Structure 1
């Protein structure tokens, strides 16, 4: 008998304010056509004044629990993947824990920027396989609008706010690729590429939150190469091939990256869940958000084989293969 971390429920939340590309035209040398042609992004959501990352995460968490038919008392652990926590400490996860009424178990944050949800899901899988937890709620939540430099057209048009959540629970499997649940994970980081994507502030440096900085061309090159490699590595670990994949659910950073990665994997775009046009890059929230939207659209169904992959600052990157 093999224990697997099986998806029980999924949900998401987006702030009410929708920001179309045209909103940037008044203050920046840019246009809707320029943004669409280079990124595929048409609009994104920004959190309201006073609306925090833990607020977004709690709304997504409640939606995922409702989808799973569970309550907060059924959870053993809660993990929030974020780079934009409400405060330096305590963790956003403990704040979400309080907001959803989870009075037992434990909660903590994972910070791997845009790869955060993949790292958090891998950690949740390890907790379940080790017997430390039976049910884990994993949330990706971000308010990246709070760290954008709105005079930098190369970055401020790319990002949005939102949250997605997934509930996984321990279930018995046969120990082969037909099992539902997480089948393989593959994680990497390389700190020598820190300058390609970072925030120029922090507690022990400037004492401020800082602004996001990115060398877009270099990030693009690393992303296409590393995302395809990690996806292949995870599939190999599960004794599967790209031909077995029903859906790629990638980090939603840029449509050109998504398309190029799918091409390298030889997976057609009609088997890729794409939400970047509506949400922009929501960092750690993008994969769980896309999983929830994919299920809502009727794309993702029970038994489907899914590959998720992401890359973010660090650089940090990785992938998870799971059967829905």
Structure 2
């Protein structure tokens, strides 16, 4: 079905507090050289004690409103993509809806972990193109510091907090969405999970600490094989090739993963956008943060073709090919 949805505005927010590699040297047995060599990260932002995902997402929307002079009173759906909600219920989307003061809107959380934002865009495009909604806020926001073990050097060097938001509106004449691709391999979910309840995946009992637990080696192997195949599948639904893509925007998991994906797909790293160097891995927020960073740096132009690809916990992945439409 031909898309009828257009991205019309973008905004972002990160907490003020910075956690540098030098700071991490004081917490665990690590050093700046080791972290940069293995991840490419130098800093990450950390929410303060009383700052949660709903605050981060709300501030990203406020940034969008102020920069693009947008009215959100007629927004009829709020989708928050997150794996670090304030509560199990109410949803982060409902909390943000209340902070924004918009009454006549649906509000849902979507948890596809690091693939959350691209899944959220798929859902927004489907809702608008089908005629069910006219104006949707898609927010990727995380407070991962709340679920990070700062005694585990394999994970605490990775994760940071932040959020990004886009406004998606009905526009039959100039839609943003070209094609999409979705996938999941839940049988490998044990390689990246977070639970505070004793449970099992495929008969294997998982540690229930309430913090993120990751088998980095297995996630790396899965990502560098899965994402290039997904990119090819996505493009096969169009008349385009990778050479027609102006910018590749993968989930900012780790610079070494991004470099491997680019090598395997023969895509130039110079045409790749990321947000990890100064924000770390922000899960569902990493792609909108990378997009907004590029907007602020003047890199994105109207009608640029962007290939966005999220991948992570689930293990779920999702790609979307878009025509950039934010002036």
Fold conserved (TM > 0.5)?
A: yes
SS in 2 for 1:74: coil
Q: Please show how residues 54-65 of structure 1 align to structure 2 within 5 Å.
A: 54-65=54-65
- 1:312–1:38 CA distance, 2 compared to 1 (3 A): same
Give unmatched runs, 5+ long, in structure 2. 201-205
Instruction: Measure, in 2, the Cα distance between the counterparts of 1:232 and 1:70.
Output: 36
Structure 2 contact 249–307 (Cα < 8 Å) conserved: yes
Q: Separation in 1 of the partners of 2:110 and 2:198?
A: 17
Paired residues of 2:307 and 2:321 also in contact (CA < 8 A): yes
Say which SS state the counterpart of residue 302 (structure 2) adopts.
coil
Cα distance per residue 1:252-302 (max 9 Å; x no partner):
010011111122222211111122101100000111111111111111111
RMSD: 1.8
User: Counterpart of 1:319 in 2: which secondary structure?
Assistant: strand
Matches within 5 A, 1:230-309: 230-309=230-309
Structure 1 residues 209 and 13, CA, compared in 2 at 3 Å: closer, same or farther? farther
Q: d(CA) in 1 for partners of 2:209 and 2:167?
A: 31
Q: Is the 8 A contact 1:80 1:93 kept in 2?
A: yes
Unaligned runs of 5+ in 1: 174-178
Normalised by the length of structure 1, the TM-score is 0.94
- How far has the Cα of 1:48 moved from its partner? 0.6
Q: Does 1:181 align with 2:199?
A: no
1:3–1:314 CA distance, 2 compared to 1 (3 A): closer
Contact residue 142 and residue 282 of structure 2 kept, 8 A: yes
The correspondence of residues 110-149 of structure 1 with structure 2, limited to 5 A, is 110-149=110-149
Tell whether 2:195 aligns with 1:200: yes
Moved more, 215-224 or 94-103: 94-103
Q: Which residue of 2 aligns with 1:191?
A: 186
> What pairs up with 1:145-156 in 2 under 5 angstroms?
145-156=145-156
What is the rounded CA distance, in whole Å, between the counterparts of 2:198 and 2:53 in structure 1? Answer: 19
On the 8 A contact 1:197/1:313 being kept in 2, the answer is yes
Deviation of residue 74 (structure 1)? 2.6
